[in-house]
Amino acid sequence: MAEVSEVKGNELSSGDFEREPVPAHLRKKWLSMSLVWIAIGIDLSAMFLGAQLGNGMNLTDSLTATIIGSLILGVIGALCAYVGAKTGLSTSMISRFLFGNMGARVVAVILGIFSLGWFGVQVGFFASNMQTAFSQLWDIHLSLGVLSFIGGLLMMSTAIWGYQSIERLSTWSVPLLILFIGVAIYSAFHTKGASAVWEPISGAAIPMGTAISLVIGIFIVGTVLSPDIARWARTPKHAITAAFIGFFVGNSFMTIVAIFLSRIMDTDDLTNIFIALGLGLPAIIVLTLAQWTTNTNNLYSASLGFSVVFQKVPKKLITIVAGIFATLLAVFGIYDKFLSFLNIITVFVSPIGGIYTSEFLLVDRKKFTFEGLDRNKNWVIRSLAVWVAATLFAFMTTAAPDGFGWFQITSVPALDAFMFAFIVQWIVGKIMTKKG
């Protein structure tokens, strides 16, 4: 038990419990956790997706696609959150039960790299829209690099201090966001009238299957990483409730708002919608808070992953180094590779959620105990093999040029990978445990 004792000693100094279960007396109720997940769901990606759906589908179809996609995300998020609450451990720590102590380090590095890349993409997304806002509102022309650097440091600030800081940010930012967005909706209806939402679409038509896949794809990686937040839940019931509300309401809220705004204003340029409504300062606040609350969690998940790899390095130092690196990715233009990066990250990360939920729910939950970690194997080949197989399967269902495009199952490669991994892990796990 020397390893466990050493880890606990390190943890007491960090206060974020990145390498051990969160103590029961520090666990949170579902409402505060729901606010965290809603804040994560309210981001620019969801807003701009909603604007695209509103411009390419009629109102009924765009709302249907959003609700179905968000409902699927809520169910998957609740399953993943349940495992996090029962174990009290982060996604990267849970992976030690599945892939072995050395195998988990490989997984943690990949989770960390993808989370950092996504952080960089989102910072670039933020910088691009802030550049438009500053230019049109005040004729101030700032470079994308400068805005990316400022945005990255801002979003890094809360991640350094861990979950407690993220929770405080979410608690006061969510009401502000809802207030400003409510004002935008009212102004749009007041300016254009309610009949505008029923006007024929002006953009290229988006099929229902494609729309649902976009809604799911934009947040499915977040559901897989939900144990990073759910480990703070007072009970599994609190975790499930908070995760479902967060992914269903948080994800759908901003998308639906953007659908209405784009339908009323007849454009998918959300920044210009706010400006056209005379809401310049609220636009700046919404753009900043929406991206800050979401992106700080990306860096938080990355730092939890790297904490499993670099076990003797303080998490705050890991977060600072990782945050600076991810910010530099944004400064040098990773945002330009947004769609390709999103496709790649989803097919690699999604199977991990299917593997750990299947193992915990259907195969062998008894081994998911923190005290047993030091007795783990270094490598668990069957889980690693399922991960590789599920990732390849997802590439088969991903359209070219990012995948092979051989066939389709759900039209959502990330969901294909999750379900494939869940089923195969269950079958292979049952066969192997019987032989053992």
- The pLDDT tens digits for 21-57 are 889 888 988 888 888 888 877 777 787 788 888 888 8
Greatest Cα-to-Cα distance within the chain, rounded to the nearest angstrom: 70
Helices 91-138, 59-87: axis angle to 10 degrees equals 140
Alpha-carbon distances of 360 from 150, 353, 380, 385, 425, rounded to whole Å: 41, 11, 15, 18, 10
Contact 244, 28 (CB under 8 A): no
Compute CA 15 distance to the chain's CA centroid, rounded to the nearest angstrom: 23
Q: Is the pLDDT of residue 168 over 80?
A: yes
pLDDT band at 3 (very low <50, low <70, confident <90, very high): very low
Other CB atoms within a 10 A radius of the CB of residue 357 amount to 24
User: What's the pLDDT at 386?
Assistant: 97
3-state helix, strand, coil split of the chain in percent (to 5) is 80, 0, 20
d(CA 50, CA 48): 5
**Percent of the chain scoring above 90 in pLDDT:** 31
DSSP bridge pairs for 233: 28
User: What's the pLDDT at 230?
Assistant: 93
Contact 262, 50 (CB under 8 A): yes
Q: Is 411 left (phi over 0), alpha (psi -120 to 50) or beta?
A: left
Q: What is the mean pLDDT of residues 417-424?
A: 96
User: What's the pLDDT at 212?
Assistant: 87
Contact 429, 230 (CB under 8 A): no
Long-range contacts of 268-272 (CB under 8 A, 24+ apart): 268/48, 268/51, 268/52, 268/54, 268/55, 268/203, 269/51, 270/44, 270/47, 270/48, 270/51, 270/129, 271/129, 271/132, 271/133, 271/136, 272/132, 272/136
pLDDT band at 419 (very low <50, low <70, confident <90, very high): very high
User: What's the pLDDT at 436?
Assistant: 56
pLDDT band at 124 (very low <50, low <70, confident <90, very high): confident
Please give the structure tokens belonging to residue 157: 């600030």
Q: What is the mean pLDDT of residues 276-295?
A: 80
DSSP bridge pairs for 28: 233
User: What's the pLDDT at 214?
Assistant: 83
d(CA 304, CA 242): 21
Alpha-carbon distances of 142 from 135, 136, 138, 307, 335, rounded to whole Å: 8, 12, 11, 35, 17
pLDDT band at 11 (very low <50, low <70, confident <90, very high): very low
Q: Is the pLDDT of residue 323 over 60?
A: yes
User: Closest Cα to residue 137, out of 284, 341, 357?
Assistant: 284
User: Higher model confidence: residue 68 or residue 180?
Assistant: 68
Contact 417, 350 (CB under 8 A): yes
Q: Is the pLDDT of residue 97 over 80?
A: yes
d(CA 317, CA 302): 12
Q: What is the pTM of this model?
A: 0.84
pLDDT band at 421 (very low <50, low <70, confident <90, very high): very high
Q: What angle do CA 65, 46, 306 make, to 5 degrees?
A: 120
User: What's the pLDDT at 7?
Assistant: 41
User: What's the pLDDT at 342?
Assistant: 67
Contact 291, 122 (CB under 8 A): yes
> How high is the mean pLDDT of the chain?
85
Q: Is the pLDDT of residue 272 over 80?
A: no
pLDDT band at 435 (very low <50, low <70, confident <90, very high): low
How do residues 346-358 score in pLDDT, each as one tens digit? 788 889 999 999 9
User: What's the pLDDT at 376?
Assistant: 78
Backbone angles phi, psi at 28, to 5 degrees: -110, 155
Segment among 7-16, 163-172, 234-243, 290-299 with least mean pLDDT:
7-16
How do residues 62-90 score in pLDDT, each as one tens digit? 999 999 999 999 999 999 999 999 999 99
pLDDT band at 279 (very low <50, low <70, confident <90, very high): confident
User: What's the pLDDT at 107?
Assistant: 87
User: What's the pLDDT at 358?
Assistant: 96
User: Closest Cα to residue 349, out of 42, 76, 59, 159?
Assistant: 76
